[in-house]
Amino acid sequence: MVVVLVASVGIVGIPVAATGTSLLVRLASTGAQAASYTPMAELAKRRDPRWPNRIGWQGCPAPIWPSNVAEGAPGNGRRVLVVGDSLVRESRTRLMTLLRDSGWAPTVRCWGGRRLDWVSDQISRAKKIDQLPSTVIVVVGTNDMRWVSRPVTKARMRSLVEQIGSDREILWVNTYASGADRFTRPKERWFNRQLRRLARQHDNVTIVDWSSQARTRGVRFADGLHYRPKGRRLLAEVIADDLDRIQSTSDGRG
């Protein structure tokens, strides 16, 4: 997906909502003046109007579909949607900074305690308002493994991949269990095994192996589910690094 600026000389550009992109129009100036470019970031940012106004401690700020274009490789202005639970909420600020620094235009939809069915609802909502980009990062599973049966979880995982669609790149962060609060190591292994099966069945699904990275780096928990600050920062870094690596590889092939 290509995202570009709207160039104007005394006028504004029009966003192309159906593709999630912005149109680049270069207007030649009169005489010896050079063409000027006005980023659409100065126009209105697009906020989902249905996002709750009162989010409390569990929620994330309203997802913004940025109208500005990020610079730099490997993102080069491409949009990316990050959707997930409280693990995203706690790593959100650092993750968005890293993605923007690499040239991505991120939108984040997250809420504490949510499961696969909620993520599916967010994908539907993003599609409806033309805010589902070609790259989606999924961080969900911890709460499913605590409360939802394995057959239901397995079916929801398959359904989510199909819902996002084969024309989009999906990066799914696997799970890392503390062994407490109903999320045991056997549950972690089961969930991550289902992810590996999905990745084998769908070429557009890539696993972000957070489990191995967190265990190798000795990430510690603040409680039965959430990480200490170092772990939150590392999660953001692992996600951003994997996205950059995948995009760089794709650009190299293209």
Question: In sequence order, what DSSP letters do the residues of the chain get, joined into one string?
Answer: ----PEE-SSS---EEGGGTEE-----PPSTTPPP-EE-GGGS--EE-TTS-S--TTTB-PPPEE--S---STTTTT-EEEEEESHHHHHHHHHHHHHHHHTT-EEEEEEBTT--HHHHHHHHHHHHHTT---SEEEEE--HHHHHHS-HHHHHHHHHHHHHHH-TTSEEEEE-----S-TT--HHHHHHHHHHHHHHHHH-TTEEEE-HHHHHHHTT--BSSSSPBPHHHHHHHHHHHHHHHHHHHHHHHHH-
Give the pLDDT score at 250. 84
Q: Are residues 66 and 10 part of one domain? A: no
Q: Are residues 221 and 107 part of one domain? A: yes
Query: What token pair was written down for 213?
Result: 């990275």
pLDDT band at 253, cuts 50/70/90? Answer: confident
Q: Which of 43-47, 58-62, 68-72, 104-108 has the lowest mean pLDDT?
A: 43-47
Q: Are residues 135 and 88 part of one domain? A: yes
Q: Are residues 143 and 101 part of one domain? A: yes
Alpha-carbon distance of 136 to 107, in angstroms, equals 10
Q: Are residues 113 and 237 part of one domain? A: yes
pLDDT band at 119, cuts 50/70/90? Answer: very high
How crowded is residue 234: how many other Cβ atoms within 10 Å of its Cβ? 20
Put the strands of the sheet holding 205-208 in their side by side order. Answer: 105-110, 79-84, 135-139, 169-173, 205-208
pLDDT band at 68, cuts 50/70/90? Answer: confident
Alpha-carbon distance of 113 to 221, in angstroms, equals 16
Q: Are residues 153 and 28 part of one domain? A: no
What domain count does the chain have? 2
Q: Which of 11-25, 50-64, 85-99 has the lowest mean pLDDT?
A: 11-25
pLDDT tens sequence across 71-109: 899 999 999 999 999 999 999 999 999 999 999 999 999
Between CA 87 and CA 93, with CA 88 as vertex, the angle to 5 degrees is 120
Q: Are residues 187 and 76 part of one domain? A: yes
pLDDT tens sequence across 151-191: 999 999 999 999 999 999 999 999 999 999 999 999 999 99
* pLDDT of 20 strictly over 60: no
Read off the pLDDT of each residue in 201-227 and give the average, rounded to a whole number. Answer: 97
Q: Are residues 59 and 5 part of one domain? A: no
The residues, any chain, with a CB within 8 Å of residue 116's CB and separated by 6 or more, are 140, 141, 144, 148, 153, 156, 157, 160
Q: Are residues 151 and 38 part of one domain? A: no
Give the pLDDT score at 70. 79
Torsion angle of C-alpha atoms 2, 103, 15, 38, degrees rounded to 10: -120
pLDDT band at 30, cuts 50/70/90? Answer: very low
Q: Are residues 84 and 5 part of one domain? A: no
Q: What is the CATH number of the domain that holds 88?
A: 3.40.50.1110
Read off the pLDDT of each residue in 206-214 and give the average, rounded to a whole number. Answer: 98
Domain span including residue 27: 1-43
Q: Are residues 63 and 167 part of one domain? A: yes
Q: Are residues 105 and 15 part of one domain? A: no
Q: In this structure, are residues 239 and 173 in contact, taking their beta carbons and an 8 Å threshold? A: yes
